[in-house]
Amino acid sequence: MMNNINKVQINRQISVGLFLLIIGLFFSSYIASINTSDAAIWLAACALGFSLQKSRFCFASSFRDLFLFGSGQNMKGVLIALTVSSIGFVGILNWILPNPLAGEYPSSAHVLPVGLSTIVAGVLFGVGMVISGGCISGTIYRVAEGYVASVITLFGVIIGSILLIVTWDFWWVNFINNESKIFLPSTYSLGYGMSLLLTLIGLFIIYILVLFFESKSGIVEYKIKDIKSQEPENLTDKLKISMHSVFIKSWSIKFGGLSVGFISIVYFLFHSPPGVTGEIMKQSLTISKIFNFSDGVLSGIGSLSGCLGSIESSGIISHTFVSTVGVFFGALISALFSNEFKIRKPKEIKRYYQSLSGGVMMGYSASLGIGCTIGAFLSAIPSLSLSGWVFGLSLFFGSFIGTKIIRRLG
């Protein structure tokens, strides 16, 4: 193993990656001169993008693989991320709002309206992410790897967001405005301890169901051990192995889930739980205003948290900018360090149509659900919001429908 590591030379991609890493650190210093909180979120977003790419952490594959192959390995990574962030979020929530009264909730947490709009958003997003081959966060890190189909998907996400903006008033007046934000600790006086216990029990039940899926399919988790020709004898060799494991080698999905969970806690400590669609929605609003699709203002947007809660921030360098672009930037550095950046074009023309249509569905539903799989699911459940569970269950059914569709498409 040591001989292989010693042969790894700093090629062009690694050189560019190192250059971008330095640029990213300088950029964080510049952001800090404007807003220290945004500077922290920029670094956290870069770390999130790095972790997502390095571990291939993707919600689409976690749901899809259960139905297509009976594999729950990716879903286990998601469950680890949810467990870690749930435990960490409780301390932050209790610090922000120590004794929540009935109807109270921390405004910075992703406590979102729950109702028909949540169900529609979850089902539609589940279908879209399976058809396109990746959720929005997965799409972002695949763009950073050079996947052309993912660029098409991202374009579809913008189109979908614009379509939602055009129909926003319908959803707001008839549904979202009338839907409740259910924060578990302030519901029936559950408190933080009981709410966390219920959350962990729910995640454990899902883990058992994942094992059930795997047992039915006969999936066995094999552990591959590295063959070491010799043990490192000095500090230099040990450092080389450590650097190679962190920056060059792929991570396991479980380690990726652990990393995503801790990074989510860092997000919340400095601002709010993570989300990646805020800047996409913000720019979609700008485009809609340019083409007179809307006046650039969404009814009731100021009363919402989640990914839509901060899109009214002004200026180029904003919370939404660092949250979305930072994920791409970190994923790009990760791909370059691993020598995995390469322009990849789909072999079949139908892949373009799938990418675009799936992207449109995700863009529309992410805006309707006030977040994608990260904002409305990964961040909402640890925020002890009922909406996260409803969105997740809807994702499950949407993904099932999506797998049926791609099986027919071939």
pLDDT score for 193: 95
> What burial class does residue 94 get, using C-beta atoms within 10 Å of its C-beta: 0-12 exposed, 13-18 middle, 19+ buried?
middle
Residues 351-390 pLDDT 10s: 999 999 999 999 999 999 998 999 999 999 999 999 999 9
Angle, CA 109 vertex, CA 300 and CA 87 arms, to 5°: 160
Contact present, 373 and 137 (Cβ < 8 Å): yes
Q: pLDDT band at residue 24, thresholds of 50, 70 and 90?
A: very high
Rounded Cα gap, residues 155 and 102, in angstroms: 42
Q: pLDDT band at residue 9, thresholds of 50, 70 and 90?
A: very low
Contact present, 74 and 58 (Cβ < 8 Å): yes
Whether 298 has a pLDDT exceeding 50, the answer reads yes
pLDDT score for 408: 87
Q: Which two tokens stand for residue 107?
A: 């405004």
Residues 177-201 pLDDT 10s: 999 999 999 998 899 999 999 999 9
Residues 317-331 pLDDT 10s: 888 999 999 999 999
Residue 180, SS3 per DSSP = strand
Rounded (10°) angle between helices 350-368 and 116-132: 160
**What is the average per-residue pLDDT within 222-235?**
58
Whose tokens are 């990260």? That residue is 374
Mean pLDDT, the chain, integer: 90
Whose tokens are 């058809």? That residue is 131
pLDDT score for 138: 94
Closest of 325, 391, 316 to residue 113, by C-alpha: 391
pLDDT score for 89: 97
Closest of 401, 367, 400, 395 to residue 112, by C-alpha: 367
pLDDT score for 314: 64
pLDDT score for 243: 80
pLDDT score for 295: 79
Rounded Cα gap, residues 281 and 40, in angstroms: 22
Rounded Cα gap, residues 130 and 206, in angstroms: 20
Whether 332 has a pLDDT exceeding 60, the answer reads yes
Rounded Cα gap, residues 119 and 282, in angstroms: 23
The larger pLDDT score, comparing residue 296 to residue 27, is at: 27
pLDDT score for 6: 45
pTM over 0.95: no
Give the largest Cα separation in the chain, rounded. Answer: 68
pLDDT score for 231: 62
Q: pLDDT band at residue 247, thresholds of 50, 70 and 90?
A: confident
Residues 94-125 pLDDT 10s: 999 999 998 899 989 999 999 999 999 999 99
Q: Which two tokens stand for residue 156?
A: 């579809």
Q: Which of 62-66, 350-354, 391-395 has the lowest mean pLDDT?
A: 62-66
Residue type, 99: N
Whether 227 has a pLDDT exceeding 70, the answer reads no
